[in-house]
Amino acid sequence: MKTVLITGATSGIGLGCARKFAANGDRLILTGRNAQRLEDIRKELTSKGTEVLTLLFDVRDREAATKCIENLPAEWKDIDVLVNNAGLALGLEPEYEGSYEDWDTMVDTNIKGLLTMTRLVVPGMVKRDRGHIINVGSVAGDAAYANGNVYCATKAAVKAITDGLRLDVAGTAIRVTNLKPGLVETNFSNTRFHGDTERAANVYKGIKPLTGDDIADVAVYAANAPEHVQVAEVLILATHQGSGSVIVRK
């Protein structure tokens, strides 16, 4: 049984990871910004026998994140797997028309939030000489697509940060994984379009997209590979998606 910390665990890929790691027999530390959703998920999983600890904070708030992690109960401090999932896209405009506020939110969440959680959790892994960091990147980190500019840049940063961390811990037994999903049907598009549900729904028309559970399956596989096996990077696409910008709709 592992202790698994998942950020952004109240929906989408994070929720999928929570359920799949729970089914794997692990115990969970779940973080998010929505207190009611965290409580609902805690009740759902504990009713099935999973130990769950919830932490209410936004990964952009370094002070709150630090307070929560530093004050974990003693029996929860030894985190085996960190799933840096919290992230989002906002807006789909040409770079020269982008929103400063959207840019700040994406950079602060997707890059700085991931770095904060890594800085808080990984030193303990290094001290114990064991652990696994799973960062949720994106196919968008491989190549920019039209109007995706800053979001794509943040996911390219996730790739570079993940690769850099893997080098930094190469002398330890710690493993580092970058998951790069393609089109996944979650709240992602609804968030990107600031609640425009009709526009968000159009993103998935004509293709069967991935689900949060599909990505969670890969995360659980990576975390449970033999100790000498490091799943460094996985690109997961829907069958009719060729790249971040090539989607065949039928």
Active site (catalytic) residues? 151
What values do phi and psi take at 180, rounded to 5?
Answer: -125, 85
The CA–CA distances, whole Å, from 101 to 32, 107, 111, 155 equal 21, 10, 15, 18
Coil, strand or helix: which one is 176? strand
Rounded Cα–Cα distance for residues 20 and 15 (Å) = 9
Using CB atoms within 10 Å of the CB of residue 249, give its burial: 0 to 12 exposed, 13 to 18 middle, 19+ buried.
exposed
DSSP string, 14-79: HHHHHHHHHHTT-EEEEEES-HHHHHHHHHHHHTTT--EEEEE--TT-HHHHHHHHHT--GGG---
Rounded Cα–Cα distance for residues 37 and 10 (Å) = 6
Single-letter amino acid code for the residue at 186: T
Percent helix / strand / coil, the chain, rounded to 5: 45, 15, 40
Q: Which two tokens stand for residue 96?
A: 């020269």
Cβ partners under 8 Å of residue 33, min gap 6: 10, 56, 57, 58
Single-letter amino acid code for the residue at 148: G
